[in-house]
Amino acid sequence: MSSILIKQGRIIDPARGIDGVGDVLIRDGKVVADVAGADLNGVEVLDASGKIVTPGLIDMHVHFREPGMEEEETIASGAEAAVAGGFTTVACMPNTAPALDSEAHMNFVLREAKVAGLAEVLPVGAITAGRKGQEMAEMANMARGGAVAFSDDGTSVPSAAVLKQAMLYAKMLDKPILEHCDEPTLAEGGVMNESFVSTTLGLPGIPAEAEEIIVARDIYLAKLTGAHLHVQHISTRGSVDLIRRAKEAGIRVTAEVCPHHLALTHDNLKSFDPVYKVAPPLRAREDVDACIDALADGTIDVIASDHAPHLREEKELELAYAPCGLIGLETTVGVLFTELLDKGRVTLNRLIEAMTCAPDKILKLNRGTLADGVVGNVTIIDPEMKWMVDPAKFKSKSANCPWAGQELKGRVCATVVAGRIVFRLP
Ligand code: DOR
Ligand code: ZN
């Protein structure tokens, strides 16, 4: 196997508290810490001067639409989009058709990802059979098949009793429960955040409380069962407060936030453009500010894209009929660098931590650092490069991207998975 030497980049490895210029050597697919003592004959050199070198970025929340909606995304096209966006490892949600709810489905995802040979794609198994919310799926079998976590993402588990039982199993299997928090009877029919803006636009709203009721319920269930609850795509100030208090009380809870909930607000819906329709909805400025502060202070652990590809003919229907979701794998780094880093809201180390060791710790992957012997996944970012977002150039099969036509600063220039360069900016 070949070797790669990534030279003179600014290495940021928050797991080890490292931030400084240096070299990273990968041999036989693994990181070699002792670069000075290594035989460098025949190594391929990647010059990273002026660039940021991080452990391969991890996105623990993506939707690849296979099986069922392969026109929107496949595991292979999603993996290609992932590495183009700097993500070496992604966890894909089970809201496919049929839902990923069996050991065979876990095997299927892992096999397709291996064939594609780009990013590592790790399956998340459904919590309930068929994602129907009625009874628990075969969680132990899915864990044996490689499930890294369980989620009914797209909807909350409606029954507290079913979720309680699933949490007891998840605890036994040592896997987290990833919960989409949106109380179904409050969320039904809503297209945006319930607020003065929704009233003036005459659009049906979803209140912040729809999210917070489920966050609160699930925190109680995590306390009751001792399971690890991970709150997906948190979006309100009230949810942030609940997470903060639960953490202070020693309950096993973590949370993630998406770039769109940090960079956009419900004011974007004034355009009536369905590209901004997402679940949970874009919220008010005060919610966005609370999420940014919580990301900065670690109350929110992780950044995840919730990459949600949709067909143009479906996404461009009027708001009431358009599906929720936007694609994010290829814009996450640019959006975060432009909207948070450049504006001084969150430090670079914290941003990288939220996309490397924080998700790694939750999913227990033994990635997320460049320590000796770890799988050689690396992301190289040019923090100064300006680029125009053009979804026609994306590797994703879908184009539902709210940043289309905008300039971003900060771009991934190379991605390395297990010592192989799987993406390089042309
Ligand atoms: O906006 C969303 N889209 N939120 C979700 O939770 C699901 C996702 C999808 O599958 O399209
Ligand atoms: Zn999702």
Mutate which of 152, 153, 179, 326 for ligand 1 pocket (most atoms within 8 A of beta carbon): 153
Residue 1, pLDDT score: 64
Question: Ligand 1: distance of its center to the CA of 61 in Å?
Answer: 10
Ligand 1 closest atom vs CA 95 = 10
Q: What is the 3-state secondary structure (H, E, C) of 50-69?
A: CCEEEECEEEEEECCCCCCC
Residue 89, helix vs strand vs coil: strand
Question: Ligand 1: distance of its center to the CA of 87 in Å?
Answer: 19
Query: What is the per-residue pLDDT across 370-425, written as a single tens digit (0 to 9) for each?
Result: 999 999 999 999 999 999 999 999 999 999 999 999 999 999 999 999 999 999 99
CATH code for the part of the protein at 4-52+375-424: 2.30.40.10
Residue 128, pLDDT score: 98
Per-residue pLDDT band for 293 (boundaries 50, 70, 90) equals: very high
Ligand 1 closest atom vs CA 154 = 6
- pTM over cut 0.75: yes
User: Span 94-102, mean pLDDT?
Assistant: 98
Query: What is the per-residue pLDDT across 222-263, written as a single tens digit (0 to 9) for each?
Result: 999 999 999 999 999 999 999 999 999 999 999 999 999 999
Residue with CA nearest ligand 1 atom 7: 154
125, 187, 160: which is closest to 363 by C-alpha?
A: 125
Question: Ligand 1: distance of its center to the CA of 115 in Å?
Answer: 26
State the number of CA atoms in the 13 A half-sphere of 303 facing the CB. 31
Residue 426, pLDDT score: 85
Q: Which-ligand-closest: CA of 327?
A: 1
Query: What is the per-residue pLDDT across 304-360, written as a single tens digit (0 to 9) for each?
Result: 999 999 999 999 999 999 999 999 999 999 999 999 998 999 999 999 999 999 999
Whether residue 297 lies in the annotated active site: no
Region for residue 419 given its phi and psi (left: phi exceeds 0; alpha: psi -120 to 50; beta: otherwise): left
Mutate which of 192, 275, 306, 311 for ligand 1 pocket (most atoms within 8 A of beta carbon): 306
302 — phi, psi (to 5°)? -130, 150
| Residue 347 neighbours by CB distance under 10 Å | 13
For domain 56-363, give the fold: TIM Barrel (3.20.20)
Instruction: Please state the domain extents for the chain.
Output: 4-52+375-424, 56-363
Residue with CA nearest ligand 1 atom 5: 154
Residue 412, pLDDT score: 98
Residue 266 identity: H
Query: What is the per-residue pLDDT across 133-142, written as a single tens digit (0 to 9) for each?
Result: 999 999 999 9
Question: Ligand 1: distance of its center to the CA of 161 in Å?
Answer: 24
71 vs 1, higher pLDDT = 71
Mutate which of 63, 71, 152, 256 for ligand 1 pocket (most atoms within 8 A of beta carbon): 63
Residue ranges lining ligand 1, Cβ < 6 Å: 63, 95, 153-154, 180, 278-279, 306, 308, 323-325
Ligand 1 closest atom vs CA 182 = 6
| Residue 400 neighbours by CB distance under 10 Å | 26
Q: Is the separation of the CB atoms in 137 and 163 below 8 Å?
A: no
On the question of pLDDT at 19 being above 90, the answer is yes
Percent of the chain with pLDDT over 90: 97
User: Span 188-213, mean pLDDT?
Assistant: 98
User: Span 50-68, mean pLDDT?
Assistant: 98
Question: Ligand 1: distance of its center to the CA of 155 in Å?
Answer: 9
User: Span 46-65, mean pLDDT?
Assistant: 98
| Domains 4-52+375-424 and 56-363 alike in fold | no
Question: Ligand 2: distance of its center to the CA of 235 in Å?
Answer: 13
Tell me the CA distances in angstroms from 3 to 40, 210, 214, 416, 419, one per residue in order: 8, 51, 48, 11, 7
Mean pLDDT of the chain: 98
Q: Determine the Cα–Cα distance for residues 29 and 80; give it in Å rounded to an integer.
A: 19
Ligand 1 closest atom vs CA 155 = 6
